[in-house]
Amino acid sequence: MNYDELFNIAVKSAEKAYCKYSGFHVGASLLTSDGQVFTGCNVENASYSMTICAERTAIFNAVSNGFTEFTAIAVAGSLTDDFSKPCIPCGACLQVMSEFCNSDFRIILADGVHKLSDFMPKTFNEESIR
């Protein structure tokens, strides 16, 4: 699985987005350390704040299937069928990524390969509450 393939899976997952309020389709594909891929899309709600992002859907999908070690996530988001503009993960999703992933974790966007630490150099984590 290379990063281009992973990004294409994210684009495909965006087709499943339940985004009737924003119209913004997001798909995420998460690569486990043993090479499996778990996907997610954003799922919106009439009570707007109950919406969940594609990235967290993918992570919770993987964790609920017994996987907690990840190497990369691809994210694709768009109002149209053009996914060429990068969709940077929101702060809540970065925080959830930081629970499971180290700073080397790769975030694959439309503009290339990033690291979790590019977007979140310092995190609140389990060390913070010891």
Q: Indicate the residue among 26 and 62 with the shorter CB distance to ligand THU.
A: 26
The residue from 7, 9, 55, 72 that contacts ligand THU (CB under 6 A) is 55
Q: How far apart are CA 23 and CA 35, in angstroms?
A: 31
Q: Taking CB under 6 A as the rule, does residue 54 contact ligand THU?
A: yes
Q: Which stretch binds ligand THU (CB under 6 A): 2-10, 63-71, 86-94, 117-125?
A: 86-94
Q: Taking CB under 6 A as the rule, does residue 26 contact ligand THU?
A: yes
Residues listed for the chain: 130
**Encoding tokens for residue 109?**
């966007």
Phi, psi of 30 (to 5 degrees): -110, 125
